Structure 1
Amino acid sequence: MKIDEIKLMYDYNDWADARILAACARVSPAQYAAPTSLGTGREGLRATMIHMLDNMWQWRITLQGYYKEALADEAAYDATELHEDAFPTFAALRERWMTEQRELWAYIDTLTEDTLNSKIRYVIPGAVREHVVWHILLDVILHAMQHRSEAAALMTMYGQSPGDYDFTLFLNERSAAGRS
């Protein structure tokens, strides 16, 4: 994987996130917090959005070495997860989301192609794992894609569809804006 390729993928991911966040901003506070589910495994729009944010954050801190050594116990791992009570409103979620996007880009901007293609070792309860850095970065995007779709289905039920997420649509918009 090359640096410009992963950056293009993250530009796309941010573009898709912007679409889902804009649609999310249009739902009512009650719809945002409602424990509605389509059998997706998450209890509503807020839970789905927080799960997406948590995944982005967890992988970033993992890539930056947070889980290099085992934490004291499993409760310490659980304490690193983001929870709904920390994001009672969409504004709170959006603020943290924007911060996390900036932090993730700051990390991506430090990568060299050697680092991007190297392996990282991390520890989770009961296991030591090792993956190539760009595989993890790709997983963040693919994981978000799954849950954006679930969130989009919920928002479409609320009359606030975020629209299409096609990569080619992103490329067309980017090209029309004079960016290659």
Structure 2
Amino acid sequence: RNDNRNLALQVERKMTPQEMRALYDYNAWANHRALEAASKLTAEQFVQPMGSSFGSVRDTLAHIFGAEWIWLERFQGRSPASLPDTTQFKDIASLKERWDEHEARLLSFVRALTQSDLDRTMEYKTLKFGVYSNPLWQSMQHVVNHGSYHRGQVTTLLRQLGAQPILTDLMHFYRERATAAGA
């Protein structure tokens, strides 16, 4: 068992529920932009093997979705033994449908969080590396960071396919949100 609880709580500043909500609003915004860009691809381009970490745009997006799904399960005390099967997503519409359902559950979970929820130690079993425990807020930060990393790969794949790349920088999200709020 890998227990980083004590070191993590001593070294790092905790996130507040408000900060976590903003981070997950950003994550949803960035995912929507990635899915929108992918929806402009042909069916062939969407599944075309590109030699990337997960092969295709579909498989990379499905990996982001699957990771978010499995982590939400872990946040709620369950440790699934596998990720969702990416081949179930025959097209962008089927992926978007599942992602929309998942996102509603995820954002509902995030909006209900209290500081004590974020500070609680969660224990979970990974698919490959065993049992871990750490504060919930760290795992939740990881999910957003993970998505950012792989959306960067999607951007590269879109460029390689001759499609319009996506802009998903956190600062761009903040600027859009400020403009929408009339700030």
| Structure 1 unmatched ranges of 5 or more | 68-75
Structure 2 letter corresponding to 1:15: W
Q: Does 1:17 align with 2:31?
A: yes
Residue 122 to residue 158, structure 1, CA distance change in 2 (3 Å) = same
Q: Matched residues in 1 for 2:71 and 2:170: separation?
A: 23
- Where in structure 2 are there 5+ consecutive unaligned residues? 1-14
Q: Is the 8 A contact 2:46 2:58 kept in 1?
A: yes
- Residue deviations 1:95-139 (CA, integer Å, cap 9, x gap): 011111111112112211111111101234673210110111111
- Secondary structure of residue in 2 paired with 1:26: coil
Structure 2 partner of 1:72: none
* Residue 155 of structure 2: aligned partner: 152
Contact 1:119/1:133, CA 8 A, preserved across alignment: yes
Correspondence 1:25-174 to 2 at 5 A: 25-37=39-51, 40-67=52-79, 77=81, 80-124=82-126, 127-174=130-177
Cα distance in 1 between the residues matched to 2:27 and 2:182: 16
- Alpha-carbon distance between aligned partners in 1 of 2:173 and 2:86, rounded to the nearest angstrom: 31
Cα distance between partner residues in 1 of 2:93 and 2:119: 36
With structure 2 as the length reference, what TM-score do the two structures score?
0.85
The two structures have a TM-score, normalised by structure 1, of 0.87
Which deviates further from its counterpart, 144-153 or 126-135? Answer: 126-135
Distance 1:163 1:81 in 2: 26
Cα distance in 2 between the residues matched to 1:179 and 1:16: 21
Query: How many angstroms apart in 1 are the aligned matches of 2:86 and 2:124?
Result: 26
Structure 1 Cα separation of the partners of residues 106 and 34 of structure 2? 18
- Matched length: 168
Structure 2 distance, partners of 1:97, 1:115, is 24
Of stretches 118-127 and 81-90 in structure 1, the one that deviates more from structure 2 is 118-127
> What secondary structure is seen at the aligned counterpart in 1 of 2:39?
helix
Listed one character per residue, the Cα deviations across residues 75-97 of structure 1 (whole Å, up to 9, x for unaligned) are: x71xx311222111111001011
- Alignment root-mean-square deviation, CA: 1.7
Q: Percent identity?
A: 27
